[in-house]
Structure 1
Amino acid sequence: MLVRKLESWARQQPHALAAAQDDTHLTYSQFVALIAGFQASLPEEARSGASTAVILTRDLLDGWTMSLAVRSLGWDAVVVQNPELLPALELTNVGIVLVEAALHGTVMKAGRRITGTAKVLAMPSRAAHLGETSSPRMSAAFGSQILYTTGTTGRHKKVLMPGEQEDRRNAARALSFGVTQGTVALTNLPPYCGAGFKTPSSVWHAGGAVVFDDGLDLQRNLELHGVNCVLAGPQQLRSLVAARPLPDSLRHSFEIVFTSGPLPLDLASRAADLLSRRIRVYYGATEIICQPLGAWFASVDDLIWLQPETGRNIVVLREGGEACRDGEEGTLAIGLQDIDAQGYLDDLQATSRFFRDGYFVPGDRAMRRADGRIRILGRESDVINLRGQKLSVLPIEQALQAYLAAEEVCIFAEMNERGEEEVLVAVRIARNIRAEEMREMTARFLPFDLVRFARLSHFPKSEGAFGKTLRSELRRLLIAARPGPG
């Protein structure tokens, strides 16, 4: 279990940095003592648990410390940043809800609508427990962590990370990512999402350090903590590229680990020029412990065609379940290992849909190349059907995004009020799109009879760490804005 590993590192390297956030810098011995201090702040009836503890906090370090504190006492833990999200998670068997001071008024005002019958407790102040030297209490069974997806499909899927598998999970992920005792990772991802939970866990397992920074102030953390690994999704990487330029002495001194979505060539090129040439691109899933597909960025080929993880069985399937030929489009299926999730918590319907015959089937279209590399073509739900032909929209969206240097492009196909098939193209871009650009894009990338472009400054986004586009909501907005028949 992770807390035992932290205690071991506290004995071996008591003064080594374990975690940092803002002005708080915790050595391994201080981190372990802070976990014990958080435990000691709990009332006696909460110091042993056999159900779920909800931790309502926006503070990343406090969320981690409280999670480890209650899990060591036998509670399963889930961190939630927005109290209004709690009912939508449909958690069962919740025993306590720990609330940070900044959210306490909101939770008390909402009352049982949010917390149900669980006992509501105030989270301890980190400052009150810094400097303590006690050791955490440990139950016979280490509790599990509950992660959840961002709900872009309309419902959050919950993933259980069992406590008894923690050491094996963390060791496997550390090996897969090359995490060592010298790793200093920078992140602003919360511990309810896959990368936000699995990466810090593996870094601490290996004896490295994790720096939490909501603003991802890269230069400050490079200089202050010697950060050598930055965890980023599309939203985070765009912010880093747009921030103040790094001095030459700091550029290329760290690795960027990119996950949660396709990486556009223009963004990858700017990041390689302004930040670091060492960029690893991964296709990841909350349900899978080690990233199943990845590549080091050297050319556009590495952004499109990813290498399967060594020892991982990954196939592309036809509708009937047979394996596709090289170059044939089909459904991605990822062979499960025993440390991966085997289903969703309290959701048999979603489990039967996405976990099949020893495979996780995430709902992505894909294609295998003769050399074994795999290209992700987009979601199954993002396939458009025009004139009886199914087309994956992601390659077209990527081409249009590169042509316009746009932030994002989404494509949909709908039947309009005149009964005609129409392609709707939503473009997130600050400037206007010229008429000649629309004609050129239609001729080169959109060989359809009816194409309508819509320029938007913002796309509707999920509340998750990566801020994924809510495509169903965007589609609804486009259809509502479509001119009527006339």
Structure 2
Amino acid sequence: MISIDDHTTIADAFLRATAAYGPRSLLAVPANPARSYDPQGREISYAEAAAQVHGLVQRYRAAGYGLGHRVALFLESRPEHMLHKLALNTLGVCVVPVNPYYRPRELAYLIDHARVDLVMALPTRLPAVQAALAEARHQPPIFTTNSTPDGTAPLPAAASPAQVGKPQADTPASILYTSGTTGQPKGCVLSHRYELAAGDWYARRGGMAAIREGQERLYNPLPLFHVNASILSFYCMLLTGGCQVQTDRFAPARWWQEVCESRATIVHYLGVVVPMLLAQPASPLERAHGVRFGYGAGVEPQLHARFEERFGLPLVELWGMTEIVRVISDHHAPRQVGTRAFGRAEPGLEVCVMDEAGTEVADGQPGEMWVRHSAATPRKDFFSGYLDDPEATEAAWRGGWFHTGDIVTRDASGMLRFMDRRKNIIRRSGENIAAAEVEALLLTHPLVHQAAVMAVPDAVREEEVLACVVLDPAAAADLAHGDAARTLQDFCLRELAYYKAPGWWWFADEIPTTGTQKIQKHRIFPAGSDPRTLAGMVDLCARKKRQVG
């Protein structure tokens, strides 16, 4: 295993891994004849990756990119994303991954907020970038690639010179955008040290999640614009001589074929994966795999044991977030299957469970989970901060602990169990959706006088988005609620990534507020009721379809 310390950079680790594991596969794409790239599949060894990264480093350096620059990567979940990232990080450039489901206004926000110096995009994404730039204040150059990293066309020259010096462990490596409770997404700045520490931590979990050097092939269906695939699993594989099998997206009908054909020994999952796989017809492939364990979060308790019995592999539940992806996981036998347990604190990741007054609660009582590295170095290996938002960063760290917003319980043995989220965040199929962002958009539509957005349960996707709307009497005169819902949903689908658009719609004469006009969402529906069952609820969930660009 490649060793790291507090001074190791991503380039250092990659160089050592290449020397140690040269002929082994670092990245793989499973075969899929219906996919537009690598339909027959593809394997990239450490040595081949090093050669391609070296070529990219020369091209970026020749164009003037280096320490202090930021490059947006719109390369989907193709292996080229990681090759460009390794090259850019080698030069001290920070990468800003682009969610392909962003609509123009969302991408324009990312471009403006991160002030990227270049957008590297697939040719098929050029129209989406151009549409975003039409709305953006900042106007970086665009360069398109046909997804092969050995092209010779010169890159657009950097508009400003790189900073003097070489990248260090605390140099920003990535800015990942995560939904914030105040509306617009926040940019989490992640350093070289953060990313390597995440992989090193995973590699050392042991128990049922033990990583065998040079033997693992980790199948990850999660996107490379998220922290799970691009950082947690990738650097674990890089540091241990393993291979990341990166598929384009989760597809239940292809899952077991890809897992078997790619010779996966580990799979990553989200809670939404489990019911979708259980709903698939039985297949010989579902027991023909060589998977040692699944690693993920959010499996419904009643499905946990059922999944393991049918498919013959343990699901090891974990907790992590973009701000800290050195995960806590329930990886030691006996596991607490079907209880929402996700592990115990360990040296290097301390936990306390606190009430709203900041007092630690007794075992078995619910409270917000606060985390830190240690009392002496609380922020070590956490994110560097929210981009250009020191107030939000310090608020999240008040009292010397990072406030996760997750409500948990802890038993006498230290086992933590997830209960709920305190933050005003909706969790749909692994995506975090800020209710405030959807509310802010709805309030710009002439039909809307007032809006409140919240989560409702969903049997497959964990949660779905519900919008409670008070229509403007003049603008919506004689408009049926079904027509209003379709009009507003179409508006949301044009302006937001499809998963953020409300699927359920409720129209009210008024929304309860406090004396200071703060919306009281808990009073909109009767306590203990399921809003989806109420007469007058408009269900447009089926109209939400995956969109790109």
Band the TM-score falls in, shorter-chain normalisation = 0.7 to 0.9
Conservation of the 8 A alpha-carbon contact between 2:275 and 2:460? no
Range with greater deviation from structure 2 (293-302 or 116-125): 293-302
Q: Tell me the equivalent position of 2:200.
A: 171
Matched, 1:425 2:530: yes
Q: Deviations over 1:364-396 (max 9, x none)?
A: 22222223222222112579xxxxxxxxxxxxx
Alignment of 1:56-71 (within 5 A): 56-71=74-89
Q: Which amino acid aligns with 1:96?
A: L
Find 1:11's aligned residue among 19, 22, 26: 19
Q: Tell me the equivalent position of 1:458.
A: 541
Q: Which amino acid aligns with 2:248?
A: D
Find 2:178's aligned residue among 149, 152, 157: 149
- Aligned-CA RMSD value: 3.8
Q: Tell me the equivalent position of 1:315.
A: 352
Residue 76 of structure 1: CA displacement?
Answer: 0.8
Find 1:258's aligned residue among 266, 279, 296: 296
**Compared CA separation, residues 464 and 7, structure 1 to 2 (3 A):** farther
Conservation of the 8 A alpha-carbon contact between 2:355 and 2:368? yes
Q: Tell me the equivalent position of 2:438.
A: none
Q: Tell me the equivalent position of 2:166.
A: 140
Matched, 1:181 2:214: yes
> For 2:420, what is the secondary structure of its paired residue?
strand
Conservation of the 8 A alpha-carbon contact between 1:38 and 1:124? no
Residue 64 of structure 1: CA displacement?
Answer: 1.3
> For 1:341, what is the secondary structure of its paired residue?
coil
> For 1:291, what is the secondary structure of its paired residue?
strand
**Compared CA separation, residues 235 and 329, structure 1 to 2 (3 A):** closer
Matched, 1:236 2:273: yes
Residue 92 of structure 1: CA displacement?
Answer: 3.6
Conservation of the 8 A alpha-carbon contact between 1:186 and 1:231? yes
Q: Which amino acid aligns with 2:273?
A: Q
> For 1:87, what is the secondary structure of its paired residue?
helix
Report how many aligned residue pairs link the two structures: 415
Residue 225 of structure 1: CA displacement?
Answer: 2.9
Residue 345 of structure 1: CA displacement?
Answer: 1.9
Q: Tell me the equivalent position of 2:109.
A: 88
Q: Tell me the equivalent position of 1:211.
A: 245
> For 1:357, what is the secondary structure of its paired residue?
helix
Alignment of 1:427-442 (within 5 A): none
Conservation of the 8 A alpha-carbon contact between 2:365 and 2:410? yes
Q: Tell me the equivalent position of 1:471.
A: none
Alignment of 1:328-367 (within 5 A): 328-336=365-373, 337=378, 338-367=380-409
Q: Which amino acid aligns with 1:37?
A: G
Q: Which amino acid aligns with 1:186?
A: Y
CA distance in 1, matches of 2:408, 2:509: 29
**Compared CA separation, residues 416 and 263, structure 1 to 2 (3 A):** farther
Residue 110 of structure 1: CA displacement?
Answer: 4.2
CA distance in 2, matches of 1:463, 1:163: 33
Residue 281 of structure 1: CA displacement?
Answer: 0.6
Conservation of the 8 A alpha-carbon contact between 2:107 and 2:132? no
Q: Which amino acid aligns with 2:408?
A: A
Range with greater deviation from structure 2 (219-228 or 361-370): 219-228
CA distance in 1, matches of 2:371, 2:543: 30
Residue 81 of structure 1: CA displacement?
Answer: 3.0
Q: Deviations over 1:144-182 (max 9, x none)?
A: 111221457632122122125554443223213533332
**Compared CA separation, residues 14 and 313, structure 1 to 2 (3 A):** closer
> For 1:247, what is the secondary structure of its paired residue?
helix
Q: Tell me the equivalent position of 1:74.
A: 92
Conservation of the 8 A alpha-carbon contact between 1:281 and 1:303? no
Where do 5+ consecutive residues of structure 2 fail to align?
1-8, 32-40, 153-164, 426-455, 469-507, 513-522
Give the TM-score normalised by the residue count of structure 1.
0.73
CA distance in 2, matches of 1:33, 1:209: 17
Conservation of the 8 A alpha-carbon contact between 2:195 and 2:232? no
Q: Tell me the equivalent position of 2:54.
A: 36
Residue 254 of structure 1: CA displacement?
Answer: 2.9
Identity, in percent, stands at 17
> For 2:175, what is the secondary structure of its paired residue?
strand
Alignment of 1:217-228 (within 5 A): 217-228=254-265
Q: Tell me the equivalent position of 2:285.
A: 247
Q: Deviations over 1:42-63 (max 9, x none)?
A: 4722443422111122243121
Residue 17 of structure 1: CA displacement?
Answer: 1.0
Of structures 1 and 2, the one scoring higher in RCO (CA 8 A, sep 6+) is 2
Q: Tell me the equivalent position of 1:430.
A: none
Matched, 1:306 2:342: yes
**Compared CA separation, residues 162 and 330, structure 1 to 2 (3 A):** same
Conservation of the 8 A alpha-carbon contact between 1:307 and 1:373? yes
Residue 278 of structure 1: CA displacement?
Answer: 1.4
Decide which structure has greater helix share.
1
**Compared CA separation, residues 63 and 351, structure 1 to 2 (3 A):** same
> For 1:362, what is the secondary structure of its paired residue?
strand
Conservation of the 8 A alpha-carbon contact between 2:287 and 2:312? no
Matched, 1:291 2:320: no
Residue 285 of structure 1: CA displacement?
Answer: 1.2
Find 1:378's aligned residue among 412, 420, 438: 420
CA distance in 2, matches of 1:352, 1:27: 42
Q: Tell me the equivalent position of 2:472.
A: none
Give the TM-score normalised by the residue count of structure 2.
0.66
